[in-house]
Amino acid sequence: MQTLHAVIRKTVIASLIFHAFNSTSLAAPLGNMQKIAADGNQIELVTSDGGIVRISLLKPDLFRVWAGTKGQLLDAGDKAAPIVLKQDYDKVPYQLTAQADYQLVQTSAMALRIYRAPLRLALYKPDNKTPVWQETQPLELGDKASFQTLSSSADEVFFGGGQQNGAYAFKGKQLEVSYSGGWEEGDRPSPAPFYMSSKGYGVLRNTWSNGSYDFRSNEYLSTSHQEKRFDAYYFVGNSIKDVLASYTELTGRARLLPRWAYEYGDADCYNDGDNSKKPGTVPGNWSDGPTGKTPDVVNSVAAKYREHDMPGGWILPNDGYGCGYTNLPEVVAGLKKHGFRTGLWTENGVDKIAWEVGTAGTRAQKLDVAWTGKGYQFSLDANMAAAKGILDNSDARPFVWTVMGWAGTQRYAVTWTGDQSGSWDYIRWHIPTLIGSGLSGQAYATGDVDGIFGGSPETFTRDLQWKTFTPVLMGMSGWSKSGRKHPWWFDEPYRSINRDYLKLKMRLIPYMYTYAYETELTGAPIVRGLMWDYSQDPNANNENYKYQFMLGRDFLVAPVYRSQVASRGWRKGIYLPQGQWIDYWDGRVVQADAKGKVIDQQVTLEKLPVMVRAGAILPMYPVALFDGQVPKDVLTLDIYPHGKSSFSLYEDDGESRQYQAGKSSQQVFTVDAPENKAGDIRVDIGAVKGSYAGMEAQRVLQLQVHSRVEPDAITFGEQTLPAFKTREEFQKSSAGWFYDATEKYGTVHVKTIKLPVDKAYSFRLAIAASKQLATTADYPAAPDLGNTIAADSLIVLNRPAEEPGHPLENAFDGKPGTWFRTLRDQSQKTGAHEFSLALGERRMVSGFEIAPRNDKDWQYGQVKDFEIYLADTNGEWGKPVYTGRLKKQQEKQKVEFAARAGRLFRFRVLSTHDQNDDGEAQDPMVLTSTGATSAARAYNAFNPVVVTPITISEFSILEHPMPDKPKAQVFLSDALASNKASYAKDLAYKIQPVKGDAGMQMNGLRFRKGLGVAGNSEVEYKLAGDWQTFRADVGIDDSCRNNGGLQFQVWGDSKLLFDSGLIAAPAVVKPELDIRGISKLVLKTTGVKANSKAGVCANWANASVIGFAGDRVGK
């Protein structure tokens, strides 16, 4: 449970969410094609209304569409750093032919149709028969916005958009491409005007303007940007892998970082007189050091890492506003002695970077939002300047961190998500954030370990655990009074767990580094969702299991984002795609079929659920605290034999840019083994190809082969290796093997003497096919944890006066022996007998459980009359959703009521059972449940009434469970209204005779489903079940677009949920509303401003409710 001061920056947002997609100035569609001319790789089109469209064929699978009005093509306005990096392309072979009603452009990878009347584009596969997309209406260009509408399908899904906190899949959603003004879940720290489709295409809008992409329809998608130009690059491929490779080739790929950059980073300001400028932001027992200057960091921080045997690779010693630094060369040298590289933070530029890098020796740069602003062009220029400062003044690779980015930022910087408070929700929503960032080329994305504010020892350790399986991570101290963000700061067992995971990260560097090199070559993400390697999996393209990820191809990681108390030691709902998976910690084997398999795992504090793909070959370095501490002359291969598999290890000097000149090496390892049965296992070690400075000429080879049966013998080439009976004998030997049947259901340990790396080697583990593999244990299903809202999701908003030592948190800690107790003397109250909580997110609350004190005096302080309130905004509580009376009893009581939705919960006590002798009298300062005061009597504030305190040992809030049923969507035009409303079903409302069909059309776009209504209409629907969402596209129909405007309103149970304000054509607004718990939904049009006696006709296009199978809507 968190207190409010621990999450001071957390914003409570209202339940109403709606997206506007409108242009008050008319965006006109392009007219008919009047002229076409081809010149090399460019095809130029002129329209009947003076529009111009230039199609540039850049590659067989890449083309650009650049459009403008009045014969003008406006550029993006790039400054120092353009969005599009690659400008030079070879000539593309293509054919341009005239067809019956379109011109056809064909390359080896695509067919592009150019329809003449009106001018529209359609993309097909090379056969010109298989459609990819087609414009459902012409491009629209206005003074303030440009629009494109493409066809879509129900099974199509979309990724991209840059760094979208908490999400990565956008089918059925509106994707905003703009700076959101915050850094929490739902915000967009580094957006990108790019999306890609599962159909094998992607689009980059070459723009610095804000955009909005609507993927909610199954029939079409619409994209817009707030500018009077249209400029887009289209990528064509067979998969999202092809598309992302093309996108990152165009905008730049994330380059290989120095090897130490994959280690733990540490940041704070050590030049501020021991935090004199921000008192109250550090723990009371902490001091930066004796001088209050930058060199203090060497002994206060760097030396502590090594004293605690803790890995760590780099430090930013000036991270804080107005911090600056002193004696920088001394600091760099001092940190280097402890194995740390030095970086700097900046809030106002990099004007000193030539000296800082070239003379002082810094090697990293972190850019603050105070300099980069809201992102866009200025931010990209700033990141380029920082990267260039390192490039120009050293032979090192740039290592830059930034918080506000745009398309192209990935080629310069790590994109971190901003300043947040450490919490369980912080862990949860960062998981899909990193997946989504990688699907926009931002392979190096992260958040501070446990945030910079708040946090706890447990959230720090849980956050660090999963982030050790991501490329980059950093802790930022100096902003949280609850603790420093050093992995050695917290006492045992946290310190040892942190150490173990960071040492494991150091060992796995060769695995991580190899995938990082692949990122530079292809743009492939390092942190991945299932869609990357398991695109055919039924859950690959949705967010059903968004809180787990893949590290490369072989690790499946399921972070823990609930406390041990709240989860009762369980991590539920881990999804395994088809194949065989092995528990990284205990060796249990799980087989998943084509439908996948869901498992639950019991977790202790030290266990992070990690599964390994059968067939994996994981290269590992020796244990080290920092890169370069020990030689890399021992290479361990952690092998999970299963059929034929291979791994190509990439290595270089880990520091310089010489790898770009070919100074690197690669080595291929292959394994051939039976699948799911005993038999010989062959391991081939390829010769190292290539060389680089500092490369190990000889290495000891160590194999850890996971085999559930003991080999009969092991040969190395023609030599039979000696077998040892004990681990101790094996460790003392120079070469041989040892089998431990108790280690992960059987592990073979093999090692050699030092061998030249430029030669190939082969191992054969001889295993009789008649042997039986040891059987591993199954994972038990987690027990029913009930529907209690986890205490670690709750945030205290308001609390009554508390007895010392009996805070409100005691009621939620799961320990009956600790109590929450209010203060006896109510003259000191801060709000008699009531508390309010934030629920972490909008939830359906259906009750609560409460227990009195658990000793012999249990009968005292028991709550009697009470009220429950739910709200979305603090202070706007309205009427109670439930009023009741509790029994006087020793046992826990459960109170249930009809589920209601809200973000905030308020519990107000009206009386206690032992208030007075008669049991009925109340605190005269508290109203009764009927709203009346108690028996009339004078109240003297100078002689306060002693009120029996409330005493609660256990309190929990119950959440209405989500139905375990398929999702369902019902269009309201297919349901019966519960009032006598006048509307047109799936047609525009006819306020006057209409020529042709009366289908709904707004801003030139046709809508198949919806309600056509007149002004001042009201359509009512009764809802029953677990409906979740209402959505629609609302606006004035094109048939009466000049007749005026009106307001659209949505009401739920007599409460206003949405008001569009005055809407006139061509504006289309897209409300998406939370309707959980609502039983009556009313759609109104009001506030008509008519320009014509004929009146105004309006559309509730695509009006639908989304819930679950069996939910009912209608009369």
* Residue 824 identity (one-letter amino acid): R
* Strand duo 555-557 + 610-613: pairing: antiparallel
Residues 936 and 866 in one domain: yes
Average pLDDT over residues 713-722: 98
Asked if residue 1065 is part of any domain, the answer here is yes
Instruction: Give CA–CA dist 208/373, Å, rounded.
Output: 14
High-pLDDT (> 90) share of the chain, %: 83
Asked if residue 875 is part of any domain, the answer here is yes
Q: What pLDDT sits at residue 996?
A: 58
Closest of 372, 435, 379, 447 to residue 409, by C-alpha:
379
Q: 1100: domain range?
A: 967-1114
DSSP state of 827: G
Q: What pLDDT sits at residue 13?
A: 28
Residue 918's pLDDT band, with cuts at 50, 70 and 90, is: very low
Instruction: Give CA–CA dist 638/669, Å, rounded.
Output: 11
Say which residues have a Cβ less than 8 Å from residue 685's Cβ, sequence separation at least 6.
667, 669, 701, 760, 761, 762, 763
Closest of 1090, 1099, 1087 to residue 1013, by C-alpha:
1099
Q: Cβ distance 110 to 124 under 8 Å?
A: yes
Asked if the model's pLDDT at residue 926 lies above 70, the reply is: no
Residue 1037 belongs to domain with CATH number: 2.60.120.1060
Residue 727: which H helix or E strand, with range? helix 727-732
Q: What is the pLDDT of residues 491-515, one digit of tens each?
A: 999 999 999 999 999 999 999 999 9
* Residue 951 identity (one-letter amino acid): T
Q: What is the pLDDT of residues 538-570, one digit of tens each?
A: 999 999 999 999 999 999 999 999 999 889 999
User: Strand, coil or helix: what is 334?
Assistant: helix
Residue 273's pLDDT band, with cuts at 50, 70 and 90, is: confident
Residues 509 and 363 in one domain: yes
Residue 947's pLDDT band, with cuts at 50, 70 and 90, is: low
503 phi/psi in degrees, rounded to 5: -70, -35
Residue 14's pLDDT band, with cuts at 50, 70 and 90, is: very low
Asked if residue 308 is part of any domain, the answer here is yes
CA atoms within 13 A on the CB side of 224: 21
Residues 306 and 399 in one domain: yes
Residue 278 belongs to domain with CATH number: 3.20.20.80
Average pLDDT over residues 363-367: 97
Last residue of a domain, one of 715, 749, 766: 766
Q: What is the pLDDT of residues 845-887, one digit of tens each?
A: 999 999 999 999 899 889 999 999 999 999 899 999 999 999 9
Q: What is the pLDDT of residues 96-131, one digit of tens each?
A: 999 999 999 999 999 999 999 999 999 999 999 999
Q: Which two tokens stand for residue 801?
A: 């006066």
Q: What pLDDT sits at residue 181?
A: 83
Q: What pLDDT sits at residue 22?
A: 41
High-pLDDT (> 70) share of the chain, %: 93
Q: Which two tokens stand for residue 186?
A: 């739902």
Residues 725 and 809 in one domain: no
Average pLDDT over residues 516-527: 99
Out of 408-417, 792-801, 938-947, give the one with best mean pLDDT. 408-417
Asked if the model's pLDDT at residue 426 lies above 90, the reply is: yes
Q: What pLDDT sits at residue 994?
A: 57
Residues 859 and 941 in one domain: yes
Asked if the model's pLDDT at residue 252 lies above 70, the reply is: yes
Last residue of a domain, one of 750, 766, 782: 766
Q: Which two tokens stand for residue 75?
A: 């550029």
Residue 438's Cα: distance from chain center in Å?
A: 10
Q: What pLDDT sits at residue 1021?
A: 97
Q: What pLDDT sits at residue 940?
A: 54
Range name among 820-829, 891-900, 996-1005 with the lowest pLDDT average = 820-829
Average pLDDT over residues 219-241: 96
Average pLDDT over residues 252-270: 98
Say which residues have a Cβ less than 8 Å from residue 9's Cβ, sequence separation at least 6.
184, 419, 420, 421, 453
Q: Cβ distance 196 to 70 under 8 Å?
A: no
Residues 935 and 995 in one domain: no
Residue 501: which H helix or E strand, with range? helix 494-507
Other CB atoms within 10 Å distance of the CB of residue 368: 19
The model's pTM is 0.90
Q: Cβ distance 618 to 671 under 8 Å?
A: no
Say which residues have a Cβ less than 8 Å from residue 4's Cβ, sequence separation at least 6.
795, 796, 797
Residue 278's pLDDT band, with cuts at 50, 70 and 90, is: confident
Residues 948 and 995 in one domain: no
Asked if residue 11 is part of any domain, the answer here is no
Asked if the model's pLDDT at residue 927 lies above 70, the reply is: no
Asked if the model's pLDDT at residue 9 lies above 80, the reply is: no
Residue 680 belongs to domain with CATH number: 2.60.40.1180
Asked if residue 15 is part of any domain, the answer here is no
Residues 95 and 222 in one domain: yes
Asked if residue 624 is part of any domain, the answer here is no
Residues 907 and 1053 in one domain: no
Asked if residue 263 is part of any domain, the answer here is yes
Q: What pLDDT sits at residue 4?
A: 37
Q: Cβ distance 681 to 699 under 8 Å?
A: no
Residue 467's pLDDT band, with cuts at 50, 70 and 90, is: very high
Q: DSSP letters along 135-184, please?
A: BSS--EE-SS-EEEEEE--TT--EEEEEE-TT----TTSEEEES--S--S
Instruction: Give CA–CA dist 185/3, Å, rounded.
Output: 19
Asked if residue 605 is part of any domain, the answer here is no
Last residue of a domain, one of 708, 731, 766: 766
Asked if the model's pLDDT at residue 919 lies above 60, the reply is: no
Closest of 415, 340, 407 to residue 376, by C-alpha:
407
Residues 233 and 362 in one domain: no
Residues 1053 and 1108 in one domain: yes
885 phi/psi in degrees, rounded to 5: -135, 130
Closest of 525, 248, 602 to residue 407, by C-alpha:
248
Higher pLDDT, 965 or 342: 342
Mean pLDDT of the chain: 92
Residue 1051's pLDDT band, with cuts at 50, 70 and 90, is: very high
Q: Which two tokens stand for residue 213?
A: 């992409």
Residue 139 belongs to domain with CATH number: 2.60.40.1760
Residues 242 and 266 in one domain: no
For the chain, how many structural domains are there in total? 5
Instruction: Give CA–CA dist 573/656, Å, rounded.
Output: 43
Average pLDDT over residues 74-89: 92
